[in-house]
């Protein structure tokens, strides 16, 4: 047999073996690559699904945040409205307390007026006053008692018949301080329209035997009035119970 042919055959056989080995290795490597590719594809799909879920959750959270922000704005609006309502109620309560205080002062003034008039009536009877004067006292007392009953029930008091007060010359122009305003700025007097009080009248406030201040009536009601203290005339501190005398 020809030696070169044998050598060539051996070389071919070796090459075939090498190619077979290479083929096997390439196939194995291809399988590994395919497995890795499949795993990578699976993970990519999972990541894509997770990304889509996260995107949906982010959208939902964004909507929820917008809803919560709107609810917060509405709650702030309700809180502001509630605070405004509370402020209004406090203002109404303050006004009601002020009106109640004036009402109580009016009731006390009326009660004092009735007591004083009854005492004057007794004096008038003892001094043999005319029947007309006695009748005038009785009419005035009856009117004041009606006002007292109306004030006690919360109804508005009506003015007493002014003509009947003309007979009370011994009490004309005299009054008592029912209360004193902050800083001695004003006083409330038991001197009202029923006894001839008029806006603009001046009275001297006596603390004991000394003149403490001069006041000017600014608001007149049926049985009491409010008078502003003249700052330059104030001497000392005004007190409830001080006497007031009309200055002609």
Domain range 172-248, CATH architecture: Beta Barrel (2.40)
Of 180 and 113, more confident? 180
pLDDT number for residue 30: 82
pLDDT number for residue 169: 37
**Could you give the percent of the chain with pLDDT greater than 70?**
71
SS3 state of residue 178: strand
Q: What is the pTM of this model?
A: 0.38
Q: Which of 106, 135, 120, 115 is nearest to 193 (CA)?
A: 106
Kind plus residue range of the DSSP H or E element containing 205: strand 202-207
Give me the mean pLDDT over the 45-65 stretch. 87
Q: How far is CA 83 from the centre of its chain?
A: 6
CB 178 within 8 A of CB 108: yes
The least confident of 114-128, 158-172, 226-240 is 158-172
82-105: pLDDT as tens digits: 888 888 888 778 767 766 776 676
pLDDT number for residue 228: 95
CB 217 within 8 A of CB 201: yes
The least confident of 63-77, 139-153, 228-242 is 139-153
Give me the mean pLDDT over the 57-67 stretch. 87
CB 215 within 8 A of CB 203: yes
pLDDT number for residue 130: 57
Kind plus residue range of the DSSP H or E element containing 226: strand 225-229
pLDDT number for residue 243: 92
Domain map (residue ranges) of the chain? 172-248
Of 155 and 12, more confident? 12
Kind plus residue range of the DSSP H or E element containing 126: helix 3-126
């Amino acid at each position: 047999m020809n030696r070169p042919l044998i050598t060539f055959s051996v070389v071919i056989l070796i090459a075939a073996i090498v190619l077979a080995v290479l083929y096997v290795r390439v196939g194995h490597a291809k399988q590994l690559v395919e497995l890795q590719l499949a795993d990578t594809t699976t993970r990519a799909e999972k990541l894509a699904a997770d990304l889509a879920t996260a995107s949906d959750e982010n959208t939902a959270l964004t909507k929820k945040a917008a809803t919560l922000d709107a609810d917060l704005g509405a709650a702030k609006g309700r809180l502001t409205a509630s605070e405004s309502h509370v402020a209004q109620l406090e203002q109404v309560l303050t006004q009601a307390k002020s009106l109640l205080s004036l009402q109580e002062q009016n009731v006390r003034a009326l009660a004092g007026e009735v007591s004083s008039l009854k005492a004057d009536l007794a004096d008038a009877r003892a001094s043999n006053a005319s029947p007309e004067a006695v009748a005038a006292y009785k009419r005035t007392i009856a009117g004041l008692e009606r006002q007292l009953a109306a004030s006690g029930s919360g109804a508005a008091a009506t003015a007493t018949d002014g003509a009947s007060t003309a007979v009370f010359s011994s009490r004309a122009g005299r009054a008592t301080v029912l209360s004193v305003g902050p800083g001695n700025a004003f006083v409330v007097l038991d001197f009202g329209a029923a006894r001839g009080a008029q806006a603009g009248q001046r009275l001297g406030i006596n603390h004991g035997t000394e003149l403490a201040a001069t006041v000017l009536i600014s608001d007149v009601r049926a049985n009491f009035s409010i008078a502003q203290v003249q700052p330059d005339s104030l001497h000392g501190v005004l007190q409830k119970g001080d006497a007031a005398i009309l200055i002609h």
